[in-house]
Structure 1
Amino acid sequence: MKILPGILSAFLLLGTAAHAQTTTAETAAVKQTITTFFDGMRRGDSTLVRRTLAPGAVFHGIGGQPVALQTESIAGFLKAVGTPHAEVWDERVQFERVLIDANLASVWAPYEFYLGSKFSHCGYDSFQLVKLASGWKIAHIIDTRRKEKCK
């Protein structure tokens, strides 16, 4: 009967290792979607940015005085990204937290935004992503924006 606990332990360890590998691969894929989004923004490539978005994606921003929730137009954002502008839009994110369950991912990411080399503002991005047949896509972005007390 000592064999049975050993077999059960082996299955548990294999199951945990397989789950950890999947989580690591999925985490990398989620991060890559977000990285591609910002690479497209830096390049002024609205087509690349669009490819990272789920159908019906929503953008929100929190800011202003008094603080308000602002809904941003995806079409307007994509048009702005693709319209030539003098300075590179450079949003530098750090992946502080990535949570995944099945086909849903949530990412918490502090950022600093630069127009060319000049600091503009900072805050936190919160992304909700869904895994579709074509891979991880951004369904929702909400962010805070401020000029001081940056991480």
Structure 2
Amino acid sequence: MKKLLLAAGLWALAPAAFAQTSAAETAAVKKTITTFFDGMRRGDSALVRSTLAPGVVLHTISSRSGTVQTGTEKAAEFLQLVGTPHPEVYDERISFEQVLVDANLASVWTPYQFYVGPKFSHCGYNSFQLVKFAAGWKIVHIIDTRRKDGCK
């Protein structure tokens, strides 16, 4: 009977242990993305690079003249843009709408507004895919939408 009660008690605690791990992993995933944008605001390409996995893929979805287009940006070019001195701060303001984590995979959905200095530039949504390596969570893919109106 004692073994049965012990097993039942452990079974009852299992969801709490899983929830704690999920909360910790969710926080770690958010930290990686927050660090990415902190690096952009500071113009610190090394900080941004620290959040990216080797071979990271950067995509953008846009609509020009009613035609949907996708574009790819090379990580090296993006890092150069961030790290090259510029007079205005690149300020992407996000909110974490959805963070999903399973084992070593995370998917994050964030609405954003992008400002160059105090001036609004564009808005949209980011979709991040992250993988947890030995060194922690790293971004392996970013795809975003971009528009001037209909912002959240």
User: Aligning the two structures, in what range does the TM-score lie when normalised by the shorter sequence?
Assistant: over 0.9
| 1:140 counterpart residue number | 141
Amino acid at match of 1:43: R
Structure 1 segment 72-87 matched on structure 2, within 5 A: 72-87=73-88
Distance 2:35 2:3 in 1: 50
C-alpha RMSD of the superposition: 1.3
Amino acid at match of 1:55: P
| 2:129 counterpart residue number | 128
| 2:118 counterpart residue number | 117
| 2:35 counterpart residue number | 36
Where in structure 1 are there 5+ consecutive unaligned residues? none
Amino acid at match of 1:38: F
Distance 1:7 1:97 in 2: 36
Distance 2:11 2:93 in 1: 40
Aligned-residue identity in percent: 68
Distance 1:98 1:105 in 2: 7
Distance 2:8 2:15 in 1: 11
Distance 1:33 1:122 in 2: 21
Query: What's the offset of the Cα at 1:89?
Result: 0.2
1:60-88 Cα deviation digits (max 9, x unpaired): 00003121110111110000000011110
Query: What's the offset of the Cα at 1:10?
Result: 1.5
- Number of residues of Structure 1 aligned to a counterpart in Structure 2: 150
Query: What's the offset of the Cα at 1:99?
Result: 0.2
SS of 1:64's partner is strand
Distance 2:120 2:133 in 1: 35
Query: What's the offset of the Cα at 1:2?
Result: 9.2
Query: What's the offset of the Cα at 1:13?
Result: 2.0
| 2:69 counterpart residue number | 68
Where in structure 2 are there 5+ consecutive unaligned residues? none
SS of 2:79's partner is helix
64-73 or 128-137, larger mean C-alpha shift:
64-73
SS of 1:67's partner is strand
Distance 1:19 1:78 in 2: 36
Q: Which runs of 4+ in 1 moved over 3 A?
A: 6-9
| 2:21 counterpart residue number | 22
Distance 1:111 1:10 in 2: 44
Query: What's the offset of the Cα at 1:14?
Result: 1.3
1:102 paired to 2:103: yes
Distance 2:120 2:6 in 1: 58
Query: What's the offset of the Cα at 1:11?
Result: 1.5
Amino acid at match of 2:30: K
